[in-house]
Amino acid sequence: MSSYLPYIVIGLASGSVYAIAAMGLVVTYKTSGVFNFAHGAVGMAATFVFYSLRVDLGLPTWIAGVTAVLVVGPGLGLLIDRVLLRRLVGAPSSTYLVVSVALLVALQGFFLAVYRIGIRRMAPILPSSSFRLLGVNVGWDQASVVLIAAAVGGALFLFFRTRLGVLTRAVVEEPGLAQLAGINGGLLTTASWMLGGALAALAGVLLTPELGVDAVILTLLVVQAFGAAAVGRLVNLPRTYCGALVIGILAALSTRFVVDYPSLQGIPSSLPFIVLFAVLVLSGRGTFVEFAQDQTPQRTAAALAGRRFPGRLLLLLTIGALAAQGQMSSSRLITATTVLIYVLVFSSLGLLVGLSRQVSLCHVVFVAFGASTIARLLDTGTPYPVALVVTGLAMVPLGALVAIPAIRLSGLFLALATFAFGVLAQGLLYPTVVAFGGRAVLTIRRPTVLGIDFASPRAFYLLTLGVVLAGVVAVELVRVSRLGRLLRALGDSPTAMHSLGVDPLVPRVLVFCLAAFLAGITGALLGTLTTSVNAQTFNSFQSLIWVTVLVAAGPFSLGGAVIAALLLVWLPALVTSPTVIQWQPVAFGLAAILLAQSHNGLAGWADRRRWPDVARLAQGSEWRLGSVRGRERLEGA
């Protein structure tokens, strides 16, 4: 037993930091009803300010700490609430999700661009001397962190028992009714966002001596708080606190056990996500309450775009793609092929994010598994066309496995589960034989089909064009089919769908599986294009960027998918400057924040000119027009 004690001490300390971050997350969710995916990014931003003040400017530690925790963190919380979220009132909850994901992407991109990749070290902020307790050396820094977290937890727990605490709960439940009880709900919500920001900042500052300052690591570490928050069902503070400690201890203990098994080395850092995923999978329906936002119906009319089969646009794009390839050099052709593949990537993602309003944050994983699966299938001598289809089909059960437990719960939990799955897949599955296996690079030979050799860039471009066209036509057919209408209607009112005798689970899971199928095929194509793939090619964080690009470009139509692919792939190839690539995520994130509520993003601008009647419908004016006409007729009669 005594040999485990040191691990428990380490685990309690790191668990306490998770607890602070997780309780911040729970406080904002509980009082605003908005789950903040950018919670970790807020902590990361405050920590960078802390670093700059303390190390670059040489200010005393306490000044830097107070500025980061009491000014920067709350300030960001204030901005998020007042600038970003107030605009969204009345939007569906998927819009809130997209905006907070976009904020995460933008903030992380900004700090990566300014501070560059790489871990910066700094001197410890807490005393590192130690004392002995029960025969174990306990650092004063560890003891302080545990005490700070316990104090924060105790204070918050008591706060929610006071009258003010009850008021904040009243606000999130029924904002209108709370107003009638004389509560200034806006003020309370803002205060809770500021508190949440401060706690994220505190967690970030406490983590730095151990881990160093790095935009990617810090964002992800505070994100580990998601696991603890899930244990507390996103609303229960004591359970969240205990969950965080347990996760910390389990993670520390597991480092001891995985030493002998190199393939399991991902376990300690993935543990919070394992917990997150397990909690979501094992929870029964109704155990998680997603606070319903007041939703004004006119906004959902934005989904009207993509209601017709875009035959002319498809024809135009095909002719354009065929004509363009004649003029391109072979390096340009490779870029163009990538653009084509990404059109299908975004088209399939649009089925989820646009058509059915399901925010899926693990699209990259299906693409990655697609690449590795086809490599293995081709190794066994399977003919290419068969391998391509089997690769897609292999993603279907995987998609169902990820989607079914979460879709049961609701949109927010699908986003959380897919996010957790993305991180887990990268940490645990990529290195195994299921995917890439160790550090190995998988090679894929470009195929010969029916005696035609597709090895040359031009030939493979044409093959890709054919496959992508087939995929895109399938997506567009779904959009105009009964399944598409059901999904659109589900976005409007799940209750109405229930009363029509439609189980909402079935169409949602179907479309998720279709999206996974198509994503798998794009992965196979990408792998064949680059001819060698490894785990580093497919960072699961890329999924978040894809969602923001697509939302900015227009998630509801084929045009949006094309614009997204051009923005993500063609633009950096056209302007080969490192600055452009660095700032790309920031631009995507900001654009998604600005356009999240618009009528189909950038593609919507084009649509509005071409189909003024659709644009007017989307604004909800057509309905009024009809009723006015009807009244005139009645009064005339």
Partner 1 sequence: MALLEVRNLRAGYGRTEVLHGVDFIVPPAATVVLLGPNGAGKTTLLHTVAGLVPVRSGDLTFNGASIAGTPAYRRVRDGICLIPEGRGVFRHLTVGENLLVSAGPEQAATAVDQAVAIFPALRDRLRLEAGALSGGQQQMLALARAFLTQAPLILCDEPSIGLAPVVIDELLEAIGTLRRAGRSLVLVEQYVQRALDLADYVYILSKGVVAFVGEPAECDSGTVFAQYLGASHG
Give the footprint of partner 1 on this chain (CB under 8 A): 163, 166-167, 169-170, 173-174, 176-185, 289, 296, 298, 620-621, 624
Compute the least distance from the CB of residue 406 to partner 1, in Å.
Answer: 23
Gyration radius of the chain's alpha carbons: 25
Question: Whose structure tokens read 């064949």?
Answer: 528
Cβ nearer to partner 1, comparing 185 with 272: 185
Residue 299 DSSP code: G
Compute the least distance from the CB of residue 348 to partner 1, in Å.
Answer: 35
CB 512 within 8 A of CB 400: yes
Would you give the distance in Å from CA 629 to the centre of its chain? 45
CB 46 within 8 A of CB 76: yes
What are phi and psi for residue 442, nearest 5 degrees? Answer: -90, 135
Burial 98-132 (b: 16+ CB within 10 A, else e): bbbbbbbbbbbbbbbbeeeeeeeeeeebbeeeeee
Which amino acid is residue 50, in one-letter code? Answer: F
CB 290 within 8 A of CB 413: yes
Q: Count the helices and strands in the chain (H runs, E runs).
A: 29, 6
Cβ nearer to partner 1, comparing 30 with 479: 30
Give bridge partners of residue 132 from the DSSP assignment.
Answer: 137
Cβ nearer to partner 1, comparing 90 with 209: 90
Compute the least distance from the CB of residue 227 to partner 1, in Å.
Answer: 24
Q: Which of 47, 352, 38 is nearest to 218 (CA)?
A: 47
**Count of residues in the chain:** 637
Q: Which of 590, 580, 598, 591 is nearest to 552 (CA)?
A: 591
Q: Which of 53, 20, 21 is nearest to 40 (CA)?
A: 21
Compute the least distance from the CB of residue 621 to partner 1, in Å.
Answer: 8
Cα separation, 342 vs 471, whole angstroms: 11
3-class state of residue 139 by DSSP:
strand
Compute the least distance from the CB of residue 283 to partner 1, in Å.
Answer: 18
Compute the least distance from the CB of residue 307 to partner 1, in Å.
Answer: 23
Give bridge partners of residue 130 from the DSSP assignment.
Answer: 139
Compute the least distance from the CB of residue 313 to partner 1, in Å.
Answer: 32
Compute the least distance from the CB of residue 583 to partner 1, in Å.
Answer: 39
Q: Would you tell me the crossing angle of helices 330-350 and 457-480 to the nearest 10 degrees?
A: 20
Give bridge partners of residue 213 from the DSSP assignment.
Answer: 120
- Cβ neighbour number for residue 347 with a 10 Å cutoff: 29
Cβ nearer to partner 1, comparing 82 with 120: 82
CB 336 within 8 A of CB 328: yes
Cβ nearer to partner 1, comparing 289 with 452: 289
Cβ nearer to partner 1, comparing 493 with 619: 619
Q: Which of 428, 105, 423, 398 is nearest to 263 (CA)?
A: 428
Compute the least distance from the CB of residue 301 to partner 1, in Å.
Answer: 13
Which amino acid is residue 41, in one-letter code? Answer: A
Compute the least distance from the CB of residue 169 to partner 1, in Å.
Answer: 6
3-class state of residue 220 by DSSP:
helix
Compute the least distance from the CB of residue 185 to partner 1, in Å.
Answer: 7
**Strand pairing report for 136-139 and 130-133:** antiparallel
Compute the least distance from the CB of residue 405 to partner 1, in Å.
Answer: 24
Helix (H) or strand (E) holding 63: helix 61-66
Compute the least distance from the CB of residue 417 to partner 1, in Å.
Answer: 24
Cβ nearer to partner 1, comparing 164 with 319: 164
Cβ nearer to partner 1, comparing 137 with 621: 621
Cα separation, 395 vs 399, whole angstroms: 6
Cβ nearer to partner 1, comparing 168 with 360: 168
Cβ nearer to partner 1, comparing 210 with 622: 622
Cβ nearer to partner 1, comparing 160 with 570: 160
Which amino acid is residue 182, in one-letter code? Answer: G
Cβ nearer to partner 1, comparing 75 with 185: 185
Q: What is the DSSP string of 301-336?
A: GGGGTT-S--HHHHHHHHHHHHHHHTT--HHHHHHH
Cβ nearer to partner 1, comparing 289 with 500: 289
What are phi and psi for residue 329, nearest 5 degrees? Answer: -70, 170
